Each structure stands twice: as C-alpha cells, then as structure tokens.
Amino acid sequence: MRRLLQHPWVALGARIILGLVFISAAVPKIIDPPGFAKAIWAYQFFPSWSLNPLALSLPWLELFCGLALCLGTWLRAVTLWVAALLLSFILALSINLAKHHPVDCGCFGASAPKSEAERLADMRWTIARDVALLLLAVEVLWATRLRAPASAPTDGQQV
C-alpha cells in the first residue's frame, strides 16, 4: 500500500482531482457573489460587514489554488491553503450540523430549495466529501515532502 501511495501518478491524480474540484467550486461563486454572500451569511459565523469581502475574495483564492494544483506550481504552499480551507469548511458544517441548523454549503453555487431534512443529509455528505478531499490534500503534501530536497540549493543548483 505504501508503494502505491508513493507512486508519482497517485500524487498527480490527487493533485489534479483536488485542483479541478476547487476550480469548479470557484467559478459559480465568482459569477454570483451576492448568492455566495447569502450562503456565507447562513452559517451565522461572520459579521455582516465581512460578508461581501469574503464573497469576493474566497472564490478567487479557491480558483488560484485549483489552478496552481493543476499546473503543479507552489505545491506545498497551495496544498496547505487547500487543507486549511477544507478544515474550515468541515468545521463550519459540523458546528451547524451539531446545532441542527441546516445550511446549504454554498460549495458549488446556489442550489434548488430543499427541506430541512434534505439539507441536513446534504451537510453530512458534504462533510464526508470534504474529508475525502482533505485526504487527497494529505497525499499531495506527503508526496511533495518525499520529493523535497534535503537541503536548500546553492548557487547554480537547480531544484
């Protein structure tokens, strides 16, 4: 199993899947900032003055991270950002689920109206999906750790 997880194609696949998910999550939010601001507001974590800045900046961060993952640039830094975002999404959903406060995650833009029971079930599935994505991020971090040079390059050395 360890050899499989260390294979470069597994890390590449994890990186591409994670990148494409973040790109596809960012685009609908970039297109509809008011809808995303409303989704953020539903979580009841942020003051009203912060909703618009969050709705305008978070999707661009997701897009940047997704593109960087797909292109293979700044892998460790971008993957740490993605892991931090996923952890915050998991935490936000879990807190609202524990409070029995159904929210539409807002992950891929606005969704069709649903009943309270449907939204609570969707929240459980979204948490499970985000945990799976977090595992992909851990795989990318682990793979980049294995490829990291033992020491910093000196003049004339390439990484």
Write the pLDDT tens digit of every residue in 53-106.
999 999 999 999 999 999 999 999 999 999 999 999 999 999 999 999 999 888
Model pLDDT, residue 2: 66
* Residue 94 domain boundaries: 2-146
Task: Report the domain count for the chain.
Answer: 1
151 domain-assigned: no
Distances (CA, A) of 30 to 36, 59, 60, 65, 147: 8, 6, 7, 14, 34
Q: Is the predicted pLDDT of residue 1 greater than 70, yes or no?
A: no
pTM score of the predicted model: 0.84
157 domain-assigned: no
156 domain-assigned: no
Tokens representing 27? Answer: 């685009």
Tokens representing 127? Answer: 């948490």
